[in-house]
Structure 1
Amino acid sequence: MFLIKSLCFFAFLQTVISDLSSMEPCLATDIDCLSKTTQTFLDNTSGGIPQFDIRTLDPITIPHLDVTPEGVGVTFHLKNIVVQGFKDQKISSFKLDKDSKAVSLKTKVNVTFNSDITVELHKLSKSYSGKLDAQAYAEGHAQYTYVFKTDDKGVEHYEVGPETNSCELLGDPKFTLSPDLVSALEADAEYQAEKAKHSGIVSKTREAIICEVVKTVYVTAIHNIRASARILPKSAFFKDV
């Protein structure tokens, strides 16, 4: 029985490696090729492959995030955030500098998520809890460096360094708070008075929440690129690097 399980596991790993290896290597400047390859990669990995340290990307659950938009006086505590949409993200820009070995990657994504949310009002020392559903179109941006590393079999791989992630909101998001939370905030005269003092508070807080979610998911997305680079040879990714 152990032998049968081992053979099945080995066959599974070989299939996964074959699927990943089927990605077409691209010129670093060929966005069309990169887009197709990225979609193949996402199709094969977005559900996660624990054996290769490739993590689930879509749907992905973020245990908690605390978001404090600058100058608003409110902290949003989000828990059990279920995020979807990243398996269909599209490359909008890719730049690779062969001299400095620096990469700039941007993708656009239609992201949806829902979570528990607690609105903490700093000045009033109050908090209200409820549910949040959100939809947005955003562009994530990751910047990282790479080096080449040869494994013990003599195969050369990319080794992806730490990344810096950022985000830009594109268009107006849709935010839906649960009725109980909306009612509690609307009934709080002190909160409404504070809210009136801050112009642009709604758009500022929504962008801060969405972009914090996007940047957090990007950590997993780049981790999966890093993990796949350990599996696949350098030649699987680019023709001219």
Structure 2
Amino acid sequence: MAVFVLLMFLMFSKSVLCQESLTMACNTDDIACLSKATELFLEKTHKGIPAYNIVTIDPLVIPSYEFAFDDENLKYKYTTLTVTGLRHQKISDFKMDTKAKSVVLTTQADLDMVGNVDITLTKSSRTLSGHYKLHARILGTATYNYELKTDEKGVNHFHVGPEKITCKVAENPTAVLSPEFQQILSNDPEAKTYNDEKRMELRKRMACKIAEKAYTNVVHNIRAAAKAVPSSAFFNNIQ
């Protein structure tokens, strides 16, 4: 009996989710409506919905992330990187080409990125390690194609293709280093060669690298939600 009740509850939960939807339907050129729909979607999904393969994005924990700036002979490795602020994204621009079946979505978000980082100076093979917090206002753009497919019940769903993520930093990011890490960088002869302008440039590039990684999870959730609810829950008159 308990198993039956549990199954009924799960079926009911799925039905309610589909009925109330994760968003609201808008015209593709109605930015005001799309902004409200984005707020609704993020409010309902930022904690994740495992049954629909929708992952948690705020806070977003990235266990390990490595990237390099070869032109600067620098390599970064973050561990236990936590990103917050994706929940409060705002649409800056949205373009949907229904003939080409393509989307360009740009959102703005104030992101805090906190973690332990190893910075390897590849010329000298030295690694400087410490705790690093970065705050940045990000303009993240996702470009992807889509298809409309009809399921076995005759309902249309969006199938979102692979995305391309690009990033711009809207303002100069701010950084907070642990006192120990600050002292390590201040005393390192190679690190001291970077002036304030170069440090800010690197800070912007770091912020974008992390933001691009984080935004892939946002698009993942759009893709997962598109499979869970009808296309009509997102847009009016899309065929």
Q: CA 1:44–1:187 in structure 2 vs 1: closer, same or farther (change >3 Å)?
A: same
Deviation at 1:237, TM superposition (A): 1.2
- Asked whether 1:114 is paired with 2:142, we answer no
Q: What are the residue-to-residue correspondences of 1:207-218 with 2, within 5 Å?
A: 207-218=204-215
Tell me the TM-score normalised to structure 1 length.
0.93
Distance in structure 1 (CA, Å) of the matches to 2:215 and 2:20: 23
Q: CA 1:190–1:96 in structure 2 vs 1: closer, same or farther (change >3 Å)?
A: closer
SS in 2 for 1:129: strand
Q: CA 1:191–1:88 in structure 2 vs 1: closer, same or farther (change >3 Å)?
A: closer
The Cα offsets for residues 25-71 of structure 1, whole Å up to 9 and x where unpaired, read as 11100000000011111111111001011111111111222232352
Cross-structure match for 1:55: 55
Cross-structure match for 2:99: 99
Distance in structure 2 (CA, Å) of the matches to 1:12 and 1:153: 19
Cross-structure match for 1:182: 182
Cross-structure match for 2:14: 13
Structure 1: give runs of 5+ residues left out of the alignment.
none
- Give 2:12's aligned amino acid: A
Q: CA 1:50–1:129 in structure 2 vs 1: closer, same or farther (change >3 Å)?
A: same
- Asked whether 1:240 is paired with 2:234, we answer no
Cross-structure match for 1:142: 142
Deviation at 1:154, TM superposition (A): 1.1
Distance in structure 2 (CA, Å) of the matches to 1:14 and 1:154: 17
**Is contact 2:166–2:212 with CA below 8 Å preserved after alignment?**
yes
**Is contact 1:72–1:201 with CA below 8 Å preserved after alignment?**
no
Aligned residues: 237
SS in 2 for 1:172: coil
- Asked whether 1:223 is paired with 2:191, we answer no
**Is contact 2:172–2:204 with CA below 8 Å preserved after alignment?**
no
Q: Which moved more, 1:150-159 or 1:59-68?
A: 59-68
- Overall identity of the aligned pairs, in %: 32
- Give 1:59's aligned amino acid: P
Aligned CA-pair RMSD? 1.5
SS in 2 for 1:189: coil
SS in 1 for 2:7: helix
Tell me the TM-score normalised to structure 2 length.
0.94
Deviation at 1:191, TM superposition (A): 3.4
**Is contact 1:20–1:44 with CA below 8 Å preserved after alignment?**
no
**Is contact 1:141–1:167 with CA below 8 Å preserved after alignment?**
yes
**Is contact 1:19–1:44 with CA below 8 Å preserved after alignment?**
no
SS in 2 for 1:55: coil
Distance in structure 1 (CA, Å) of the matches to 2:235 and 2:188: 57
Q: CA 1:91–1:51 in structure 2 vs 1: closer, same or farther (change >3 Å)?
A: same
Structure 2: give runs of 5+ residues left out of the alignment.
none
**Is contact 2:132–2:177 with CA below 8 Å preserved after alignment?**
yes
Cross-structure match for 1:205: 202
**Is contact 2:39–2:88 with CA below 8 Å preserved after alignment?**
yes
Cross-structure match for 1:151: 151
SS in 1 for 2:118: strand
Q: CA 1:34–1:190 in structure 2 vs 1: closer, same or farther (change >3 Å)?
A: closer
